[in-house]
Structure 1
Amino acid sequence: MEIQATDIAQTLSTLVRRVLAANPSPFTYTGTQTYVVGTGDVAIIDPGPADPDHIAGILAATAGQRITAIVCTHTHRDHSPGAKPLAEASGAPIIGCAPLMLEDSGPRADASFDPNYVPDRVLSDGERLSGVGWTLEAVATPGHTSNHLCYALIEEGALFTGDHIMGWSTTVVSPPDGDMADYMASLDKLIARTDAIYYPAHGEPVTNPQRFARSLAGHRKQREGQILRLVRDGVGVIEDMVPRMYSGIDKQLYPAAGRSVLAHLIDLENRGKAVRDGVAWRVEAIA
């Protein structure tokens, strides 16, 4: 993979550029990718953290152009906090996902919710915004968070997937807001679409979108099967499941993996296949 400089625009297509924030971590990969859409009047997708250097990089990338919309996929802190300072600098409205004030019990400090996100306009599924030569359509994709939106760039058949689909790893689904059933339904929704390319917030563009989304859905079904087998064999505590299921990952990622295991278990509980027994889980029925 080509090493990308931070806070400097890189052209990906006629209508799309990206600016990488300097916030790499085990959860954000090389950092959050902010996308610039358009060539005259432009939209900014996921302005990222409220890092002055990153905001300056976005403004430098759009010098001589007019930012007409600042668009957020969801309100985790590595995605939306840059919206406010960018709006103050550009005068552009903040448009996109709904605000979400929720204490996430997950382990990711970088992915807790942004309490200062105040949109000027909230988009619903299928709503559009446009500029000269470009049209963005909101695609509701709850699961990673309940307020997650992807955005389709109609003119290029592209989809900005935020954290719903990432180019380097599976996404964390962390209860109470993250919901595995919603996540799987959102994957099915994207599989049924005809997008030609995905632009994720973390990782490289995905050029085989439907196959990639199907592989993610298959991966989640495999994880569900692993969980059911472990619970059936008497391994019912999440902290004991994770090392068996994720033996190849960095141990500092175990807590995040445990959140996704919990999301699977809650989904299984809602479907009558598992039941919580104190801190442990047991199989209730196998359909």
Structure 2
Amino acid sequence: MAIPPKPWPTGQVEQCEPLVARVLAPNPSPYTYTGTQTYIVGAEEDVAVIDPGPAEPDHVAALVDALAGRKVAAIMCTHTHRDHSPAAVPLAERTGAPVVGCAPLVLNDAGPRADAPFDRTYAPDRVLEDGEAMQGTGWTLRAVHTPGHTSNHLCFALEESGALFTGDHVMGWSTSVVVPPDGDMGDYMKSLGRLGERDDRIYYPAHGPAVEKPKQLVRGMMGHRRQRENQILRLLNEDARPVPAFIGTMYKGLDERLIPAAEMSVTAHLIDLEKRGLVERTGEIWQTV
């Protein structure tokens, strides 16, 4: 999906439905679309803030304005990439709210990154296990464990309206980047399958528009990943090769800025295929078994 032309509603409060509003952060990029969308859940005296976003002073100020003096029962993070969780610290300082949600995760990764690095400031007051919930006046947010994009990724289901906040697991504009060593393609596919079995009415992703036909999108995303896997196996049946040699054939016309993401995605598929005994590697060269 192409990025829409400016102006974007950065810093503005958009009411998505009675219990859900969103505020767009000022961090657009080839990996974040128009920016990270922070969601405010609740309509009365207490609310939850989902994915507070980057610790940009203008974004934190916009969130405080959007709260309009309401109590924040919880600041909830789907995962700890730096475009999602860093604003939890300044927002908690401003509101006194606890930070709740995914487990902390820090990776020392010296290699090339195709996604924002992990947030080392994230220190939750409470980690939600799969199925645990946070509640406020008129709202219940239940954690759905969806590892794959990251090992600590959670979605949050708003039980009163049938909405699911999908973070980066399912986005409204692009497939999710799965970056080893923490990102795991096998887990990602299992998590997509889990969402496909649910009956959520709508998805609110951290990037891109709301998804109004969730099951259809999930089926398409799973089919896309299987197609990529089949491409990789077909190319390896022609000739053994290193990861960069897949990109020109598999991603024709790709923006050069996205080449690292494509290479990480191929690597994630190859590691999954290796675990399943279908491919093997010698140094940087991959081949079929």
TM-score class normalised by the smaller sequence: over 0.9
1:60 corresponds to 2:52: no
Structure 2 residue aligned with 1:28:
32
Cα distance in 2 between the residues matched to 1:111 and 1:220? 22
Structure 2 residue aligned with 1:241:
246
1:163 corresponds to 2:168: yes
Structure 1 residues 39 and 107: CA distance shift in structure 2, 3 A: farther
1:75 corresponds to 2:76: no
Letter in 1 for 2:104: P
Structure 2 residue aligned with 1:15:
19
**How far is 1:235 from its partner?**
4.8
Deviations 1:44-72 (A, max 9, x none): 00000000100000000011311110000
Deviations 1:3-40 (A, max 9, x none): 53211110000000000000000000000000000012
Cα distance in 2 between the residues matched to 1:71 and 1:126? 15
Gaps of 5+ in 2: none
Structure 2 residue aligned with 1:198:
203
Deviations 1:250-271 (A, max 9, x none): 0110111110100000000000
Structure 1 residue aligned with 2:266:
261
CA contact 1:144–1:163 (8 Å) conserved in 2: yes
Cα distance in 1 between the residues matched to 2:257 and 2:227? 23
Q: TM-score, normalised on structure 2?
A: 0.96
**How far is 1:248 from its partner?**
3.0
SS at match of 1:12: strand
Letter in 1 for 2:25: A
Q: TM-score, normalised on structure 1?
A: 0.96
User: Which of 174, 177, 191 is equivalent to 1:172?
Assistant: 177
Which deviates more from structure 2 when the two are superposed, residues 193-202 or residues 5-14? 5-14
Alignment root-mean-square deviation, CA: 1.3
Structure 1 residue aligned with 2:288:
283
Length, aligned pairs only: 284
Structure 2 residue aligned with 1:46:
51
Gaps of 5+ in 1: none
**How far is 1:110 from its partner?**
5.7
Aligned identity (percent) is 61
**How far is 1:101 from its partner?**
1.2
Structure 1 residue aligned with 2:118:
113
Structure 2 residue aligned with 1:128:
133
Structure 2 residue aligned with 1:5:
9
Runs of 4+, deviation exceeding 2 Å: 1-4, 103-110
